[in-house]
Amino acid sequence: MSDKRTTVDDIVGELRSGMTIGIGGWGARRKPMAVVRALCRSDLLDLTVVAYGGPDVGLLCATGKVKKVVCPFVTLDSIALDPHWRAARQQGRVEVMEVDEGMFFLGLQAAAWRVPFLPTRAGLGSDVLTINPELRLVRSPYGAGSPYLHDPADADVELVAMPALHLDAAVVHTNRADTAGNGQILAPDPFFDPLFLGAADRRFLTTERTVDNGRLGDEGPLGTVVLHRLLTDGVAETPGGAHFTANPPDYDRDESLQKEYAASAGDPDAWEAFAARYVHVSEDEYRAHVTERTERAAR
């Protein structure tokens, strides 16, 4: 059995400018922030980021890495909107493919299932179809008289054909993983992480702690191992790798640091100070700065 252990730097080393990269998690919850920070420090450019957006999107926009974002929203949860995202949009610095949350899910699902699209009502009648003029409708082939027509209203019905959201690479963060590439999410919601991995050519986990293959059952019920090794190419152990987003049960969101991040959007000096301490530093330095900050606040 292959040992899939790798490092955050090696993951980012496999990525190239112009790639389409899926980032797991949801809003400011269980985002693979160690990889996001490494992307911000890298020389990569013109990325297309596909995400249920949170500070991953905001940070990558703020550091000029992003050409386009595919998302249904960008939020920090406890702060409704990421001000770095707001600034990038209002200054016209990024393109966006904005779709309904369910359309987004179906796009990942279609890519994971290797079909070009999946049909849905979601999007019909909305401006999602006008702001994304290349989206197409599909007509049901089951008309009146078909033995497969259940609801007469569905005869020849036109639905949105949500295109597959194919990813060059995907990164998700887990509570635990094993050396073979199985991933365990101990929080109650795996979000859409299995689909991000399924939709991607290169599939990476980062994790709080790596255990030997076969030992994830010691960490929690096997039902929490929702990412199996057929979905993964590499696993990087990086404690605190989702910080400052929420990663229960390992840690909650660092609301104080998130506030500082959000507040830095309106002020170039504040952003420079924030980036110098929490972005343009190694992960070890990042953790040291966070510890220092927490201790300072406690004094």
Partner 1 sequence: MTATRPDRPDLPCTRAESCVVACAEAWRGAGEVMASPFGTIPSLGARLAKLTFAPDLVLTDGEAALMVGALPIESRAADLVREAAMPYRTVFDVVWSGRRHIMMMASQIDRTGNQNLSAIGPHHQPKVQLIGVRGAPGNSVNHPTSYWVPDHSVRTFVEHVDVVSGVGYGRALAAGSGATRFHDVRRVVSNLGVFDFETPEHIMRLRSYHPGVAVGDIVAATSFSLVIPDDVAETRLPTPEELDLLRTVLDPGARRDRDIRS
Determine the Cα–Cα distance for residues 179 and 155; give it in Å rounded to an integer.
Answer: 51
CA 90 → CA 96, 189, 192, 259, distances in Å? 12, 32, 28, 21
Closer residue to partner 1 in complex, CB, 133/147: 133
> Does residue 190 bind partner 1 (CB under 8 A)?
yes
- For partner 1 (CB under 8 A), the number of binding residues is 45
Q: Binding marks (x or -) toward partner 1, 22..61, rule CB under 8 A? A: ----x--------------------------x--------
Among 9, 101, 219, 260, indicate the residue that binds partner 1 (CB under 8 A): 101
> Does residue 154 bind partner 1 (CB under 8 A)?
yes
Q: Binding marks (x or -) toward partner 1, 105..144, rule CB under 8 A? A: x--------------xxxxxxxxx--x-------------
Determine the Cα–Cα distance for residues 275 and 84; give it in Å rounded to an integer.
Answer: 13
The H-assigned helical ranges of the chain are 8-13, 33-41, 55-62, 83-90, 101-113, 128-131, 193-198, 255-263, 268-278, 283-298
Cβ atoms within 10 Å of 107's Cβ, excluding its own: 24
> Does residue 100 bind partner 1 (CB under 8 A)?
yes
Determine the Cα–Cα distance for residues 248 and 61; give it in Å rounded to an integer.
Answer: 26
Q: How far is the CB of 86 from partner 1 (least distance, A)?
A: 4
> Does residue 78 bind partner 1 (CB under 8 A)?
no
Closer residue to partner 1 in complex, CB, 123/183: 123
Among 44, 49, 51, 99, indicate the residue that binds partner 1 (CB under 8 A): 99
Closer residue to partner 1 in complex, CB, 138/281: 138
Asked if residues 54 and 25 have their Cβ atoms less than 8 Å apart, the reply is yes
Q: How far is the CB of 146 from partner 1 (least distance, A)?
A: 16
Determine the Cα–Cα distance for residues 61 and 271; give it in Å rounded to an integer.
Answer: 13
Among 43, 90, 148, 269, indicate the residue that binds partner 1 (CB under 8 A): 90
